Amino acid sequence: MQHFIRIAVCLLPLVLAACGGGSSDSNTTTSAPTATPTSAPSAATASAPLSLSAQVGHKLFFDATLSGSGKMSCATCHDPNFAYAAPNNLAVQLGGTDMLQPGTRAVPSLRYKEFTPAYADLLDNPDGVSVPGPGGGFTWDGRSPTLADQSSIPLLSANEMANASPADVVAKVKAAAYAPLFLQAFGSDAFNDTTKAFANIQAALQAYQMEDQSFHPFSSKFDLYVANKIGGNMTAAELRGLTVFTDANSGNCASCHYQGAGLNGSSALFTDFSYETISVPRNMDIPANQNAAYYDMGVCGPARTDHLPASPGAANSFCGLFKAPTLRNVSLRGAFFHNGVIHSLYQLVHFYNTRDTNPEIWYPTVGGTPKATPDASFPTYGLITTQYTGGTVQKFNDLPAAYVGNIDPQMPLDSRAPGATPPMTEAQMSDLICFLNTLTDGYQAPANPPAHGTCVD
């Protein structure tokens, strides 16, 4: 979100206690497919037995026969052991009938998506302070309004599960061992109408993601901390990291990765569902990017088609906008940002810190002379490890020049001058990473916590 300072509502432990927990929505699960993601189960109710629809969804999610290759299920890219994101550090995954067709974006985690409202150009911001702006929706560009709708993208994309048609998918489900369960859930004539059967497949995948506790466990150290539970004692380093995260004058991460009370009764999702342009470097590991004329510009296309510029380069405030994703389980990721260009949290926080002060280590230089050995002061954590004499840094090289004005000016990416002092110190970034590591689900408090260490003292 642009131009408005957000207030970090949940900064102190006592306030956090009031902010913790999930939605207090419905306590019931029925066999009816859930049409919209608004009746999300809370952490407490999610352990209830799955509805029949969700049970079907569970089978579908792990069924590799639902792909043109016979080798790829949803779980191939959305691995439950990696918070339902990719189990590797590839920027994009390979799929298709031959399992050799590259994707164009990094795989997001599917955890905590059930609270996401449909995309709107003017979504109310959950922080209650920011002006309404682009927000909500599924995928990095928000082009899909519901989890059910979204599922047709991977099922039918030629470079993902590569089914020829919805009918192709329905035929595979009809032949699957769980076909009787499908009939039980959706009626004895459920395979007769292909359109209806495909819609029920989509509804079942949504129901599974909505209902199964593994998609919203709220079992991180941070969750124990906000709920004042045993084992939730944050270390001094982690608490300092939380302060950096929320401090408008240093990390300011909470401004977009909002950790307060959210929409649909949610809380501490570490996203406000908003879209910003932060203009990460182009990733040449994505084969589509070999074509110099191709730009993935998020909300303004090309994958999304309802906000396209009137003509190439025509003014359009939606170009370059990508969703600020949840940061829960972020330490399990091997590739960060929509194009997977960054591969560690260490590198990522340094990108936020030095995109503007040291653009030469993030974006390529043209026309310069490479130095045989970089100066001792030349940072080594960037994407570019060659130092140049002269030349021009191609800053924001993954966004056409016409849209550089869309870049969000908030801290820590406040466009300060090259060579200026960056917003965070090394110690603050180290603490910030310690804090981000507390957002990983499945936390078990150690019996004998270490007395000292980087993330302790």
| Contact footprint for ligand HEC (CB under 6 A) | 72, 74, 76-78, 93, 95, 103, 105, 107-108, 110, 113, 138-141, 147, 150-151, 154-155, 160-161, 205, 251-253, 255-257, 276, 278, 280, 303, 322, 324-325, 327, 330, 333, 336-338, 348-349, 352, 408, 410, 412, 432
For ligand HEC, the closer of residues 10 and 147 by Cβ is 147
| Beta carbon of residue 90, minimum distance to ligand HEC (angstroms, whole number) | 10
In degrees rounded to 5, what are phi and psi of residue 336? -110, 155
Q: In this complex, which beta carbon is closest to ligand HEC, that of residue 148 or of residue 226?
A: 148
Q: How far is the CB of 445 from ligand HEC (least distance, A)?
A: 24
Residue with Cβ nearer ligand HEC (237 or 253): 253
- Are 298 and 338 within 8 A, CB to CB? yes
The CB-of-3 to ligand HEC minimum distance in angstroms stands at 10
Q: How far apart are CA 230 and CA 411, in angstroms?
A: 34
Nearest 5°: the CA angle 272, 83, 273 is 10
CB of 85 to ligand HEC, least distance (A): 7
Residue 73 CA to residue 416 CA, distance in Å, equals 45
Place of tokens 């009370």: 261
| CB closer to ligand HEC, 298 vs 364 | 298
For residue 138, the cross-strand partners are: 144
Q: Which one, of 401, 423, 399, 419, lies nearest residue 411 by Cα?
A: 423
Nearer to ligand HEC, 44 or 248 (CB): 248
Q: Closest CB to ligand HEC among 53 and 93? A: 93
Tokens, residue 446: 């150690």
What is the nearest approach in angstroms of ligand HEC to the Cβ of residue 163? Answer: 10
DSSP 8-state secondary structure symbol assigned to residue 171: H
Among all chains, which residue has been given the structure tokens 């110690």?
A: 427
Shortest separation between residue 214's beta carbon and ligand HEC, angstroms:
14
Q: Which residue has the tokens 């300092």?
A: 240
Asked whether the beta carbons of 341 and 383 are under 8 A apart, the reply is yes
Radius of gyration of the chain (CA): 23
- Of 325, 297, 434, the closest CA to residue 85 belongs to 325
Residue 368 CB, shortest distance to ligand HEC, in Å, is 26
Q: Which residues pair with 367 in a beta bridge?
A: none
Angstrom distance (rounded) from CA 213 to CA 208? 9
Nearer to ligand HEC, 387 or 429 (CB): 429
Least separation in angstroms between residue 270's CB and ligand HEC is 9
Spatial separation of the C-alpha atoms in residues 261 and 9, rounded to whole Å: 8
Nearer to ligand HEC, 212 or 387 (CB): 212
What is the number of other CB atoms lying within 10 angstroms of the CB of residue 421? 9
To ligand HEC, the closest distance from the beta carbon of 361 in angstroms equals: 17
- In whole angstroms, the minimum distance from the beta carbon of 111 to ligand HEC comes to 9
How many CA atoms does the CB half-sphere of 353 hold within 13 Å? 25
Comparing CB distances to ligand HEC, the nearer of 388 and 429 is 429
Q: How far is the CB of 409 from ligand HEC (least distance, A)?
A: 8
Q: Which residues have CB under 8 Å from 427's CB, separation 6+?
A: none
- Name which of 54 and 147 has its Cβ closer to ligand HEC: 147
Bridge partners, residue 342, by sequence: 336
End-to-end CA distance of the chain: 34
Q: Which residue has the tokens 């302070």?
A: 129
Between 82 and 368, name the residue whose CB sits nearer to ligand HEC.
82
